[in-house]
Amino acid sequence: MADKIRWGVISTANIGRKRVLPAIQQSRNGELVAIASRNLDSAQAVADELGIPKAYGSYEALIADPDIDAIYNPLPNSLHAEWSIKCAEAGKPTLCEKPLASDAAEAQTMVDAFAERGVLFAEAFMWRFHPRSQRVKQMLDDGAVGDVHVISATFSFRLSDESNIRLSKALAGGSLMDVGCYCINAARFFTGEEPIDGQAFADWGATTGVEERLTAILRFESGVIAHFDSSLRSQKTHQYEIRGSKGRILVEDSFVPEASVETVIRYWHEGSYEAIKIDPANHYQIMVEDFADALSNNRPPKFLPQDGVNNMKVIDMLLAKARE
């Protein structure tokens, strides 16, 4: 294997072009060598824009390229399983966008396909790699707020393009799949537990057939209650708050902070307040560097792919509750 992991990308999706592809190019242990689209002209346009050496007019051709060490899959949710499994069958380590699949059963099939072949696989949930997220987790583990009682979170933005894939039922869209999954992931990450029960209420789009707004509550064995809302139709905001017996933590712009700016953890503890400042960091870059390092050193990724299956199980449960 080359000194740097050689990445290929299947799809010219915005999340890749604007966030992950530049992160790969900036990473210390990776290089972006190829991109594919079902339309060669589209692939070539992005290749020219970002200075990527190879462009392919099919995903199959990129997957078959022997000079590619790892693949990033940012295809629509409904296509994650099909093409990630094709990568597994070709022996290609794969970083797949969140949410991992259309449902938990599909996600488990993906994880099993890679495990059976001994091929590295991970979910591209970048927010938890950020030093601020890691610091909050450490604070909680150290008892910074005492016993955690409540975790509340929100992630919403307003879509103006009715043709956006997030509003497509066929492509496994919806607010929970797109942004609510972050809130679920945060509750699971900070508690270190899986929820034992939950409830959800949703506003289903009359023309889209997906839940465009959702509010949910989760209960954990330890007694922690998590509640959150997600929306594709509301003013943009994303934050979480953790309240406990001795303190409170508030994190604003929590899930997609700008890489170039200093971030803050707002911390109240028994009458005192502290703004804990965290140096700028690119969580996309940290994520792809972890994957490349795992591949180079034959170790598991920082977050195991089964975590993605478990997140999907909660999504499935809440969607079922919202349909009742």
The pTM is what? 0.96
Look at residue 21 and tell me if it is in a domain.
yes
97 and 180 belong to one structural domain: no
**In this prediction, what percent of the chain has a pLDDT beyond 90?**
96
DSSP string, 187-199: HHHHHTS-EEEEE
- Looking at the domain assignment, is residue 314 inside a domain? no
- Residues near 116 by beta carbon (within 8 Å), at least 6 away in sequence: none
Whether residues 118 and 148 fall in one domain: no
Residue 319, domain member (yes or no): no
Q: What is the pLDDT of residues 41-92, one digit of tens each?
A: 999 999 999 999 999 999 999 999 999 999 999 999 999 999 999 999 999 9
Joined tokens for residue 159: 């879509």
Q: What is the pLDDT of residue 1?
A: 62
What is the secondary structure of 245-270 as a DSSP string? SSEEEEEES-SS--TTS-EEEEEEET
Among the listed residues 1, 6, 48, the one whose alpha carbon sits nearest the alpha carbon of residue 25: 6
Looking at residues 241-269, what average pLDDT do you find? 98
pLDDT for res 15? 74
Which pLDDT value is given to residue 87? 99
Domain presence at residue 296: no
Residue 14 has a pLDDT of 81
Domain tally, the chain: 2
The answer to whether position 309 is within a domain reads no
Query: In the listed set 84, 109, 125, which residue is the last one of a domain according to the structure?
Result: 125
Q: Give per-residue pLDDT as tens, 5-27.
A: 999 999 998 877 889 999 999 99
For the chain, what percent of residues have pLDDT higher than 70?
Answer: 99
Its domain, for residue 171, covers 131-280
Give the pLDDT score at 2: 66
313 domain residue, yes or no: no
143: CB partners within 8 A, 6+ apart? 246
For range 129-139, the mean pLDDT: 99
Sequence-distant (≥ 6) Cβ neighbours of residue 290 within 8 angstroms: 129, 301, 302
